[in-house]
Amino acid sequence: MLGVALVATLIAGAAQWSGRLEGTEHIAYDEALIRYTGDRKASGQVVVVAIDQQSIDAISQDAQLQVNFGNWPYTRTLWARVAQELKAAGARAVLFDAVMDERASDESADLGFAQVLRETGLPFYVGMVSSGSAKPLARADFQSPVPLATPESAPPPPSDTFPEEFEDAPAPATPVLEAGALARALAFPASRTDGKPLQSLQGTSRVPRYPVPPTPALVGAVSGFGLVDTEADGDGSMRRTHFAFTDGINTYVTLPVRMMADLLGAKEVTLSGRTLRMGERTWHVDADGSAALDYGGPLETRFRQVPLIAVLDDWIRRGHGKSPGLDPGLFRGKVVVIGGTAVGLNDIKATPFSSTQPGLVKQATVVDTLLSGAFITDAPAGVDLGLTFLVALVSAVLLMTARWTPLEVVWPVALVAGLFVLTGLLLKTSHTHVRMAMPALAGVGASVAALAFNHLVANRETQFIRQAFHRFMEPKLVEQMIRSRQLPRLDGENKEITAFFSDIRGFSTFSERFKEDPRQLVRILNTYLTTVSGALLREGGCLDKYIGDAVVCLFGAPMAQEDHAVRACRGALAAKAAVEALRQDFRAKGFPDVYTRIGVNSAVNFVGNFGSDQLFSYTAIGDGMNLAARLEGANKAYGSVIMIGPRTYELAREHIEVRELDRVRVAGKTEAVTVYELLALKGQLDASTRHTVARYHEALGLYREARFAEAAAVLEAEAARSPEDGPTGKLLERCREYLESPPENFDGVANLEK
């Protein structure tokens, strides 16, 4: 089992680290994320201003808006108006999920937008992308302040009244920005303190990538720039994000991190082991400096969305002295994420929740998590491997020990379902991603190996069991034992069983009669043995052996039987009844009598296959077997037919009628045991025999007190009434003997010498 589990784990681990399970893992992860974490309430800290189709249509259909802002991509005058309105509405900060890396045809719009940002003081963060065609920047000097690119002679900002524009403004001077100053504006201090390298902007490609600079007019006016590159898995879905990158010259952070650093007053971003730190705040991340996104649901349910046109309308209303149409507290104290949701803007990305989500959902999710949340991190590799081995081992042990066909069918399905539930609950409660595909593969692989073992190796074992026991047990019981997988340990085991011994009285004399006709002796003996064996097999016994005329039978082995003592008692009574009928038939045919004595005893014995290389068989050895044989022989001394031991009586007493015969000490033992005569099943003892038993018990009590004369008187009276009762006559003989020759040190215990 350990070998199967280990091999299954190694195969699953190799498949995982080679990437062959990546697609399956993504599917399982996405489904668990949707089912267990997709019901999060809408964020109370982030609001999305959506450049949706409604806003695009409204601007294109309004002549005045068209004059002022044009078509998409709109002039930056529009974003100046949006910034003014969000500032007035009390926004905490604005994250613009787009890039502004091209100069406007009318550069005064850029300068005007920059001037509005400086005047309002609204924290406004703009995205930037990296490109293989971009030129490397100079090394940033983080000791110097972020420069202002806009010259002092810039024109005044646009009028706050709608819809005046810059038509009469003088031509602005072209901003000039030194290379070092630009690097200082775009880069941000980030490092790893654990000796590992930061994530490279180059990614998996060999082409160096560098940030694409924004339009110079915005440098110094915008609060900061951050990377908004798409970070998609191999299937194109956005599940993870890094926080800091390097191009080999400078370090850069993502747009949400850049904004959060300012909000926390952090001067740098550090990664150490599995921790991201900004200022006094830390977040748990993966060892490579990334983390999975806890989306909590699709964009429409996780974040309040406000159309861009609604913000513009409120700016117009505010300019005309009217009350805003939006809720006055909608933006107050919130981080506002501006981004496109219209399909035509080509910013549609895939996430675990949808293949058509706006790209801004990633930025909004990261911002919300950084404000107050936790990222989803992978469990350590050791945990994944440990779980994989555990699942494989449980699968192997369960299927190779139970060997139950319904379980073999259900287990692989239950295994995958259980791993899915485990993955989902861990995602929900601890934000930990435990891999599901690898342990599922190992578990299913171990299950297949276990089934192969069961149906190849174990089938040979069951065939051996069938061949070994079909002659000694009822075929139905053998098949039941195989179906229930209660296969015996043929190498031996200690277990409590009940042993049955029977023998014909005077068989030596019996056989001498047929010394001239041995074939007739064989026929008679076969008839007798078949009769006794049939009675025992019907009660579920296992024939151990024939020793001449003696029959040895086991109950409770090889098939476990909780009621083995009761079965043995029923079998003994049935054998007695069958032999009585056979005796009558033999007498009618002139055959010798086959009077049979029986001994039954229950005890823990060692059962298994015993013998030599030439011959072996399933049997039992132990003191319990010896006592059963002694009890069979002791019937002669007590005149009884069936004698049972104390443990058999203890186990079957609720189902049988007995007579306590005596306390005996067998040869080689110092401890005395109480022996009983088995008379009938419970409730089937006739009144006459019950009276005889009562009188015998009365006499036995007197006998144990050494009151032999009184005991003899009771027994004489009963012997006159029931002269055929053997135990009464035998105890009477002993009492008379002790009256004539009183015993020394009498303790009421009889010694059985053989």
Taking only the tens place, the pLDDT of each residue in 47-66 is 999 999 999 999 999 999 99
> Could you tell me which of 549, 557, 579 has the C-alpha nearest to residue 624?
557
Strand 224-227 relative to strand 124-128, pairing: parallel
Q: How far is CA 611 from the centre of its chain?
A: 45
Compute how many other C-beta atoms are within 10 angstroms of the C-beta atom of residue 706: 13
Among the residues of 373-434, which ranges form H helices? 381-402, 405-430
Strand partners, 358: 348
pLDDT of residue 485: 57
pLDDT of residue 162: 47
> Could you tell me which of 434, 395, 423 has the C-alpha nearest to residue 411?
395
Name the stretches of the chain with pLDDT < 50: 150-171, 174
Whether 239 contacts 26, CB under 8 Å: yes
Whether 225 contacts 137, CB under 8 Å: no
Among the residues of 93-204, which ranges form H helices? 107-120, 179-186
Three-class DSSP category at 439: helix
pLDDT of residue 609: 77
> Could you tell me which of 291, 312, 271 has the C-alpha nearest to residue 373?
291
Backbone angles phi, psi at 622, to 5 degrees: 145, 170
Compute how many other C-beta atoms are within 10 angstroms of the C-beta atom of residue 274: 17
